[in-house]
Amino acid sequence: MNSSTVSLHKIKQFDLPVAILLVLLGCVLFFFSFDRHIVSILKTTLMHEMGVGNTDYSLLITAFMLPYTIMCFFSGALVDRYGSRLIITGLMVLMAIATLVTGLTTSLHGLIA
């Protein structure tokens, strides 16, 4: 067997549930990334709707990015200790709940909390 035949054979063995899981995980990661960037993109709209100035909005951005920054230091150790499946699933559920709560909030203090 040459290398192209081996590669094709491995592709045929690729399990459909694994492919679906990878696509789902990619979509989730895309939306989480989009969620982080939309706060900056909608700055003027959110400032106008909430009636806040640049200083208050800076607090919002800081409060929004702080969990991402903190988790960068601990996520690797958590994955090593508990496994990637458990940590990724738990963080995805936590992020989905946080995004839902953020979407339902109507004030700056609610967004920061």
Distance from C-alpha of 29 to C-alpha of 10, rounded to nearest angstrom? 26
Instruction: Give the pLDDT score at 10.
Output: 60
3 state DSSP class of 84: helix
Give domain status of residue 12, yes or no.
no
pTM beyond 0.85: the answer is: no
3 state DSSP class of 25: helix
Distance from C-alpha of 89 to C-alpha of 79, rounded to nearest angstrom? 11
Distance from C-alpha of 98 to C-alpha of 34, rounded to nearest angstrom? 14
Domain that holds residue 98: 28-112
Give domain status of residue 7, yes or no.
no
Q: What is the number of structural domains in the chain?
A: 1
Instruction: Give the pLDDT score at 100.
Output: 84
Give domain status of residue 52, yes or no.
yes
- Mean pLDDT by groups of 10 residues along the chain of 113 residues: 55 71 84 80 84 86 83 87 88 84 78 69
Q: What are the E-state strand segments in 48-100?
A: none
